[in-house]
Chains A and B, each alone.
Chain A
Amino acid sequence: MANKFTGIGSESKQLATWYFTFAAILFGAQLLFGLVAAIQYVMPGFLFEVVDFNVARMIHINALVVWMVFAMFGSVYYLLPDETGIETIGIKIGKLLYWIFVAAIVVVVLVYLLVQVGPATETTIWFINEGREYIEAPRWADWGIVVVALGFVANLWLTGMKGNRSGIVTVLMADMIAFAGLYLAGMFFTDSIVMDQYWWWWVIHLWVEATWEVFVGAIAAYGLITMIGASRKVVEMWLWIEVAMLFGSGILGIGHHYFWIGTPEYWWEIGALFSALEPLPLVAMFIHVMYDWGKQQGKQNASGESVSVINNKPAFLWFWMNAFGNFLGAGIWGFFHTLPQVNLYTHGTQFTSAHGHLAFFGAYATILIGMMYIAVQGKNGIKILKHTKSSIWAVSMIVGGVMGMTIALTIAGYVQVLVSRAQMGATWAGYFDGQQGVWFAQAMDWRLLMGVITFLGFVFLVKDLLSTGKNPVHER
């Protein structure tokens, strides 16, 4: 049943490829500015007062969030015709909104780069940057994003209500409306830094540790049906279990951000146990992928044919990386520092950064790259998409590079916790004592090297995504 729709002739799938293309461009920007920031840790004079760390880092994390949102929208536009059995409704408006979104992002990034900071006025918040990590986009762009997101959600809902509403589509409909709605919590100004941070986490946490994770569950379900022909009934049952576990632990797991920002002590307990359970659904997702793969392959082997059941090798590899990387990066690295007793010392150190790198990569980048490969397969009408040299190099170098960065940052985090926090009591002088530690400095060298490897892997990835569709090795 796999690959019923080739994707040729579907406007929704065409729009999906547009979304994926711009997502890949922003992914490149994310890596480039990440490299600038990484170089500045090693050579502080690099681009000083030209593109300072705050600017490079802002573009690094904003490009990250936005490329993922683009690839998520693309993924939904890609799977909708397959799931609902009809062409996406409102696709013309979808295409228009795409161009508005792209134009807005380009303007925002240019202003970040060329204007950077402004005077302490509301005008700066509206037109230059909002200065709040991850959602720095100025207020005018916030409203633009709201309009685009509403259009996207409307298309999804109208299509879901008219066509066949599968379990996957139902989950996506509920999830995407929460995803879009939560953005509103990050769109106001307050004089109180405590209030500011409280609501800021509603956007950041409830995105990446709740709604985005559920999105990944839905995409993984779609991928297993498409790539290895897994049983929809089984896959959708897993999906509901994952939704229950992800939202059950993730929504109140927000408490682990409310330990030290001025909020009451009772958040210690709520944050500790709910977030300690957050890795469970991630384990479940990994088992789910392995189980379905083994089951389908076993069925195939029993029927006397020992060929692989996978019809898209690179996509499946990226999905597998997602199942494992989500567990490792979000689950293990997150659990490392989620208990308040530990977090008192690790909060605001490179530990967080190590977790951030592996979690965003493992939980989201991997599966979205996998979706890009599925789109390449569909767009070119390929029956079985095989690995190429570039696809192998891409996955090895990107995964190796990100793991390397994560380990380096974890070691840097240890130095910071022990020297700057435990020994020196977290002062300005203590901070720099930690930064000067030999282990810290070496970790930053390694991080830069691993970042370069990741970037080279990205070059292979782009080359492969652009060329593999025409490669004669695939079965058509």
Chain B
Amino acid sequence: MANKSVWSDNRFWQRSAAWVTGFAAVLLIWLTFDTMGQISMGTDADLQSGVTKRVPGPTVINYKISYEMSTKRGLEVPVIGEKEKFFGRDDYSEKEARALLHLGKLGSQAKNCMNCHTLLGNGAYYAPDLTKAWLDPAWQDGGTMQAMTGKSTKEEAMAEFLQHPSTYPTHSRMMPNLGITAEEAKGLVAFLKHMSSIDTNGFPRNFGRMQGAVNGK
């Protein structure tokens, strides 16, 4: 006859803790394998045959990217459209595009972007989120930034800004000069363009859709 309850027994809780921890860890590893398959970067062939990948290949910089509401999924998804020139070319090979993206990703870390900006919403909150920066209305044709930097394309305006940020202030809180070279700036813009093509399950919501809406009007 046990007059001691299992519920106040140390061994029961110790074994339960071991089971729960071990099994949750196994599930996480299993989920990780599943997710890895879904978030691996696509290829140039995927892009040419119109296969939708959560993370397209680096040659996505040869294409026009937009961010549109998908009625099927009930959220906004990046849509990869027709060819678009990027620094005057739309025929970057897989190797060239990957090298640019590599340079840009390295640059984003070496210049410590994440300790002011957020990327995919993670980082610091001192400067705007860069997840869909490539699609920001401010950089488009007719937007303020092309006029300010005196450039006629989005990518050139972005690259110019990155090299001389404090020359083109948009706010009293300015981006400091981080010694970004022309080549690094090109890589960083490729990195930003690629990031805007990632399917982020609709984050950020309504991006750029509220253009001109100030004070609720």
B208 engages A260 (CB within 8 Å): no
Which of B54, B101, B102, B110 has a CB less than 8 Å from the CB of A194? B54
> In the bound complex, how far is the Cα of B205 from the Cα of A330, in angstroms?
26
Chain A interface mostly helix, strand, loop or mixed? helix
* A173 contacts chain B at the CB level, 8 A cutoff: no
* A305 contacts chain B at the CB level, 8 A cutoff: no
A260 engages B13 (CB within 8 Å): no
A270 engages B10 (CB within 8 Å): no
Among listed B84-92, B114-122, B148-156, interface-contacting one: B114-122
CB of A351 to closest CB in B, whole Å? 9
* B83 contacts chain A at the CB level, 8 A cutoff: no
CB of B211 to closest CB in A, whole Å? 8
* B35 contacts chain A at the CB level, 8 A cutoff: yes
* A388 contacts chain B at the CB level, 8 A cutoff: no
CB of A256 to closest CB in B, whole Å? 12
> In the bound complex, how far is the Cα of B55 from the Cα of A241, in angstroms?
40
Enumerate B1-28 residues with CB–CB distance to A below 8 Å.
8-10, 13-14, 16-17, 20-21, 24-25, 27-28
B16 engages A244 (CB within 8 Å): yes
B126 engages A194 (CB within 8 Å): no
* B124 contacts chain A at the CB level, 8 A cutoff: yes
> In the bound complex, how far is the Cα of B212 from the Cα of A125, in angstroms?
41
Number of B residues, CB within 8 Å of A: 93
A435 engages B173 (CB within 8 Å): yes
> In the bound complex, how far is the Cα of B46 from the Cα of A3, in angstroms?
67
Q: A119-B110, A133-B124, A425-B208 are in contact. Are A431 and B129 (CB under 8 A)?
A: yes
> In the bound complex, how far is the Cα of B123 from the Cα of A189, in angstroms?
17
* B93 contacts chain A at the CB level, 8 A cutoff: no
Which residues of chain A have C-beta atoms less than 8 A from B207's C-beta? Answer: 425-427
Enumerate A116-141 residues with CB–CB distance to B below 8 Å.
116-122, 124-125, 128-133, 136
A426 engages B178 (CB within 8 Å): no
* A247 contacts chain B at the CB level, 8 A cutoff: yes
Which residues of chain B have C-beta atoms less than 8 A from A247's C-beta? Answer: 17, 20-21, 24-25
> In the bound complex, how far is the Cα of B45 from the Cα of A391, in angstroms?
66
> In the bound complex, how far is the Cα of B124 from the Cα of A54, in angstroms?
8
* B52 contacts chain A at the CB level, 8 A cutoff: no
A-B contact pairs, 10 of them (CB 8 A): A54-B112, A117-B178, A120-B184, A128-B110, A131-B110, A252-B28, A260-B201, A262-B198, A264-B39, A348-B129
Q: Beyond A348-B129, A421-B205, A425-B211: 20 further Cβ-contacts under 8 Å?
A: A53-B124, A57-B115, A119-B181, A120-B187, A121-B106, A189-B109, A193-B191, A233-B10, A251-B27, A257-B122, A262-B199, A263-B201, A344-B202, A344-B205, A345-B205, A426-B132, A426-B205, A428-B133, A429-B137, A432-B128
CB closest chain-B residue, reference A175:
B21
